[in-house]
Amino acid sequence: MGKNIPLLGEKFPELKVNTTHGSITLPDFFKGKWFVLFSHPADFTPVCTTEFVGFQLRYDKFKELNTELIGLSIDQVFSHIKWVEWIKENIKINGEAVEIKFPVIADDTGRVSAELGLIHEAKGTNTVRAVFIVDPDGIVRAILYYPQELGRNIDEILRMVKGLQISDKNGVAMPHNWPENEIVKDHVIIPPASNENEAKERMESSKRGEIECFDWWLCHKKL
């Protein structure tokens, strides 16, 4: 694993990478956009194939959130190209071929994987199923690691991007399983008051019906 694995709130490291769409430099290539970088263990493997199809089927939804996708594994670029071709030729959803439109990084030297901490020796020499969500300023906002035997929930990754964007715009937090939370439904959480006056004002706002509160520290509202 790399010595300087990027952490939450840190700048995504500058990396020149070779992809199925040509050579690019991250994170500058996606400057002004969010992007999701996700690694997969290997091309031409069953679980990874289902994940790539899942990402592509939701690609338009990511793009609606000003978010791009980019895959990665330690395979060579020709392997990526043939695998993407195989998916298009053999996988059909509702009668339509699935065409992978986002780039895939060919990290055949393992340099990028080492930099990002994608090789976990106890789980083998292939990349684990990692996810980095990066904002338009190139800051790492979320990191997920999955074992090779467990495919990702792509809808959860989409939910995370949407939630982070709403949080940034409105200064709020997202409850468990938002927007289908058992307690507050589709409401968002208002950050707890930081002093006594703010706590009192929070409760007054609740009485006026401007927000809803269980107590001064647990308030929520509909956007």
- Catalytic residue of the set 48, 74, 140, 189: 48
pTM value is 0.93
Look at residue 123 in the predicted model and tell me its pLDDT: 61
> Which of helix, strand or coil describes residue 180?
coil
Look at residue 147 in the predicted model and tell me its pLDDT: 84
Look at residue 122 in the predicted model and tell me its pLDDT: 61
Whether residue 219 lies in the annotated active site: no
CA distance 184 to 182: 6
pLDDT by residue for the chain (223 residues), tens only, comes to: 445 688 999 999 999 999 999 999 999 999 999 999 999 888 999 999 999 999 999 999 999 999 999 999 988 999 999 999 999 999 999 999 999 999 999 998 888 888 888 877 666 567 778 999 999 999 999 999 988 889 999 999 999 999 999 999 999 999 999 999 999 999 999 998 999 999 999 999 999 999 999 999 999 999 9
Domains of the chain from N-terminus onward: 15-152 (3.40.30.10), 171-223 (3.30.1020.10)
CA–centroid distance for 151 within its chain: 14
Q: Is the peptide bond before 46 cis (omega within 30 degrees of 0)?
A: no
Q: Which two tokens stand for residue 128?
A: 């684990």
